[in-house]
Amino acid sequence: MTSAISVSGLVKTFGPTRALDDLNLDVHTGEVHGFLGPNGAGKSTAIRVLLGLLRADSGTARLLGGDPWKDTAALHRRLAYVPGDVNLWPNLTGGEVIDLLGRLRGGLNKARRAELLERFELDPRKKGRTYSKGNRQKVALVAALSSDVELLILDEPTSGLDPLMEAVFQDCINDERSRGRTVLLSSHILAEVEALCDRVSIIRGGHIVETGTLADLRHLTRTSISAELAGPPNGLADLAGVHDLVAEGNRVRFEVDSDELDPVLKQLVATGVRTLTSQPPTLEELFLRHYEDAK
Amino acid sequence: MIGTGHLVRLALRRDRILLPVWVLFLVGVTYSTTTALEELYATAESRALLGVTANANSAFLAMLGPLHDWSSLGGLVVWRWGVFSGLFVAIMAMLVVTRHTRAEEEAGRTELIAATVVGRHAPLAAAVIVAGGTSLLIGLLQALALIGKDLAPAGAFAFGLSTASVGLVFTAVSACTAQLSENSRVSNAIAGGFLGVTYLLRAAGDAAGESGPQWLTWFSPIGWTEHVRSFGDNRFWVLLLPLAAFVLLTGVSAYIVTRRDVGLGLLAARLGPPHGTIGSPFGLAWRLQKGSLIGWSVALFAVGVIYGSVAQAVGQMVQDNPALGQIVSKIGGADAMVDAFFATVTQLLGLISSIYLVQAVLRLRSEETSFRAEPILATPVSRWGWVASHAVFALVGGAVVLAAAGLGLGLVYGTQTRDLGAVLPQMLGAALAQLPAAWVIAGVALVLFGLFPQLTGVSWAVVSVALVLTLLGPALQLDQWMIDLSPFTHVPKYPDITFGPLAWLTVVAVLLLAAGFAGFRRRDLST
Name the residue facing A87 among B275, B279, B371 (closest C-beta): B371
Helix axes B73-100, B122-148, angle to 10 degrees: 160
Cα–Cα nearest to B208, from B276, B119, B307: B307
Min Cα–Cα distance to chain B from A197, Å: 24
Q: Give yes or no: residues A112 and A209 share one domain.
A: yes
Q: Give yes or no: residues A264 and A125 share one domain.
A: no
Q: Give yes or no: residues A224 and A202 share one domain.
A: no
Best residue in B377, B523, B525 for a mutation probing chain A (most A CBs within 10 Å) = B377
What's the whole-number mean pLDDT along residues B389-408? 96
Measure the CA–CA gap between A254 and A247, rounded to whole angstroms.
9
pLDDT by residue (tens digit) across A247-289? 888 898 888 887 788 888 888 888 888 999 888 766 667 777 7
pLDDT at B448: 96
CB A2 within 8 A of CB A26: no
Look at the alpha carbons of B123, B126, B130, B131 in this order and tell me if their dihedral is positive or negative. Answer: positive
Look at the alpha carbons of B189, B195, B201, B207 in this order and tell me if their dihedral is positive or negative. Answer: negative
Question: Domain total for chain A?
Answer: 2
Interface touch A125/B183, C-beta < 8 Å: no
pLDDT at A153: 96
Which residue of chain B comes nearest to A147, CA vs CA?
A: B379
pLDDT by residue (tens digit) across B185-212? 778 888 888 898 898 888 888 877 776 6
Min Cα–Cα distance to chain B from A168, Å: 22
Exposure on the CB side of residue B106, measured as CA atoms within 13 A = 23
Phi, psi of B365 (to 5 degrees): -70, -40
Measure the CA–CA gap between B281 and B82, rounded to whole angstroms.
45
What's the whole-number mean pLDDT along residues B363-385? 92
What's the whole-number mean pLDDT along residues B381-410? 95
Interface touch A45/B527, C-beta < 8 Å: yes
Name the residue facing B524 among A54, A83, A140 (closest C-beta): A54
pLDDT at A171: 94
Name the residue facing A99 among B275, B288, B375 (closest C-beta): B275
Interface touch B377/A53, C-beta < 8 Å: yes
Q: Give yes or no: residues A51 and A189 share one domain.
A: yes
3-state secondary structure of B496: coil
pLDDT at B15: 87
Look at the alpha carbons of B368, B374, B380, B383 in this order and tell me if their dihedral is positive or negative. Answer: positive
Q: Is pLDDT at B427 greater than 60 in this prediction?
A: yes
What percentage of chain B reaches a pLDDT higher than 90?
50
Measure the CA–CA gap between B179 and B257, rounded to whole angstroms.
7
Measure the CA–CA gap between B410 and B304, rounded to whole angstroms.
8
Q: Regarding predicted confidence, which is higher, B310 or B359?
A: B359
3-state secondary structure of A237: helix
Looking at A185, A217, A249, the residue that finishes a domain is: A217
Query: What is the ipTM for the molecules in this complex?
Result: 0.82
Q: Give yes or no: residues A21 and A61 share one domain.
A: yes
Measure the CA–CA gap between B395 and B442, rounded to whole angstroms.
8
CB A259 within 8 A of CB A236: no
**How many C-beta atoms lie closer than 10 Å to residue B480's C-beta?**
9
Q: Give yes or no: residues A165 and A251 share one domain.
A: no
Helix axes B322-330, B281-320, angle to 10 degrees: 120
Measure the CA–CA gap between B251 and B123, rounded to whole angstroms.
15
Top mean pLDDT of A237-251, B329-343, B394-408, B453-467 is at B394-408
pLDDT band at B267 (very low <50, low <70, confident <90, very high): low
The angle formed by the CA atoms of residues B286, B290 and B294, to the nearest 5 degrees, is 150
pLDDT at B265: 67
Q: Give yes or no: residues A179 and A290 share one domain.
A: no
Q: Give yes or no: residues A139 and A157 share one domain.
A: yes
Residues of B whose CB is below 8 A from A105: 379-380
Name the residue facing B380 among A54, A73, A83 (closest C-beta): A73
Q: Is pLDDT at B321 greater than 70 in this prediction?
A: no
Min Cα–Cα distance to chain B from A100, Å: 5
Q: What size, in residues, is chain B? A: 527
pLDDT at B380: 93
Which chain B residues touch A if contact means CB-CB below 8 Å?
182-183, 269-281, 283-284, 287-288, 370-372, 374-383, 522-525, 527
**Residue A201 touches chain B, beta carbons under 8 Å:** no
> Exposed, middle or buried: residue B464 (CB in 10 Å: 0-12, 13-18, 19+)?
middle
Least confident of B51-65, B312-326, B459-473: B312-326
Measure the CA–CA gap between B135 and B173, rounded to whole angstroms.
14
Min Cα–Cα distance to chain A from B294, Å: 17
Give residue A136's Cα distance to chain centre: 21
Domain-wise residue ranges, chain B = 1-261, 280-527
What's the whole-number mean pLDDT along residues B477-488? 88
Interface touch A99/B278, C-beta < 8 Å: yes
Which residue of chain A comes nearest to B379, CA vs CA?
A: A76
pLDDT at B416: 83
Tell me: cis bond preceding A38? Omega within 30 of 0 counts: no
pLDDT at A1: 60
Q: Spell out where chain A has E strands.
A: 3-14, 17-28, 32-36, 58-63, 79-82, 151-155, 182-187, 199-204, 207-213, 222-229, 242-248, 251-257, 273-279
Best residue in A14, A39, A49, A53 for a mutation probing chain B (most B CBs within 10 Å) = A53
> Exposed, middle or buried: residue B270 (CB in 10 Å: 0-12, 13-18, 19+)?
exposed
Residues of B whose CB is below 8 A from A44: 527
Measure the CA–CA gap between B110 and B99, rounded to whole angstroms.
12
Measure the CA–CA gap between B217 and B201, rounded to whole angstroms.
6
Q: Give yes or no: residues A111 and A169 share one domain.
A: yes
pLDDT at A283: 66
Measure the CA–CA gap between B357 and B452, rounded to whole angstroms.
19
pLDDT at B385: 94
Mean pLDDT of chain B: 88
3-state secondary structure of A30: coil
The string of DSSP codes covering B188-243 is HHHHHHHHHHHHHHHHHHHHH-TTS-GGGGGG-HHHHHHHT-TTTT--GGGGHHHH
Q: Give yes or no: residues A192 and A234 share one domain.
A: no
Interface touch B527/A51, C-beta < 8 Å: no
Q: Give yes or no: residues A199 and A290 share one domain.
A: no
**Residue A11 touches chain B, beta carbons under 8 Å:** no
Q: Pseudo-torsion of CA B130, B133, B134, B135, nearest 10°?
A: 130
Q: Give yes or no: residues A95 and A38 share one domain.
A: yes
CB B78 within 8 A of CB B230: yes
* Domain extent at residue A230: 220-294
pLDDT at B331: 63
> Which residues does chain A have with pLDDT short of 50?
none
pLDDT at B319: 65
pLDDT band at B268 (very low <50, low <70, confident <90, very high): low
The string of DSSP codes covering B250-319 is HHHHHHHHHHS-TT--SS------SS----SHHHHHHHHHHHHHHHHHHHHHHHHHHHHHHHHHHHHHHH
Looking at A197, A217, A237, the residue that finishes a domain is: A217
Top mean pLDDT of A100-109, B46-55, B116-125 is at A100-109
pLDDT at B119: 81
For position A101, which CATH number holds?
3.40.50.300
**Residue A124 touches chain B, beta carbons under 8 Å:** yes
Interface touch B273/A96, C-beta < 8 Å: yes
**Residue A84 touches chain B, beta carbons under 8 Å:** no
Looking at A184, A217, A250, the residue that finishes a domain is: A217
Least confident of B219-233, B264-278, B431-445, B446-460: B264-278
Beta bridge partners of A187: A36
Interface touch B273/A125, C-beta < 8 Å: yes
